[in-house]
């Protein structure tokens, strides 16, 4: 869905999906990611927080959460979330 760059449609589909399966962390994560593509960072953060409640050990969700905070100029908080991602996966971003 996200590969098509139709983020409005993706958001609608993810909303329906999490109504059916509210405990699927990646549904919340993808929902948040689609929101970031539309510049809706505050809304995206809410979705990432829900995903983290379900699985606090998903480094990618922490990374997306950090990116959204960074976009809002919340640098210190962004760095804290980034550190959470690194703590989970120390090699994150290392090639």
pLDDT confidence of residue 95: 54
**Eight-state DSSP code of residue 4:** G
Contact 29, 48 (CB under 8 A): yes
Token pair belonging to 38: 């539309």
Domains of the chain, by residue range, sit at: 2-88
What's this model's pTM, rounded to 2 decimal places?
Answer: 0.89
Contact 33, 2 (CB under 8 A): yes
- What is the rounded CA–CA span in Å between residue 58 and residue 64? 10
Contact 65, 82 (CB under 8 A): no
Question: Regarding the domain with residue range 2-88, which homologous superfamily does it belong to in the CATH classification?
Answer: Tetratricopeptide repeat domain (1.25.40.10)
∠ Cα 88 92 95 (to 5°): 150
Chain center to CA of 18: 14
The average confidence (pLDDT) of the chain is 92
pLDDT confidence of residue 91: 87
pLDDT in tens, 41-81: 999 999 999 999 999 999 999 999 999 999 999 999 999 99
Does position 1 have pLDDT exceeding 50, yes or no?
no
pLDDT in tens, 2-35: 445 788 888 999 999 999 999 999 999 999 999 9
pLDDT confidence of residue 8: 86
């Amino acid at each position: 869905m996200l590969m098509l760059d139709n983020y409005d449609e993706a958001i609608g589909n993810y909303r329906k999906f999490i109504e059916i399966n509210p405990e699927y962390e990646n549904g919340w994560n993808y929902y948040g990611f689609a929101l970031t593509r539309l510049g809706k960072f505050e809304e995206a953060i809410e979705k990432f927080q829900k995903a983290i409640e379900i699985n606090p050990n998903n480094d990618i969700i922490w990374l997306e959460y950090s990116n959204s905070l960074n976009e809002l100029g919340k640098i210190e908080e962004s760095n804290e979330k980034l550190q959470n991602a690194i703590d989970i996966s120390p090699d994150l971003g290392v090639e």
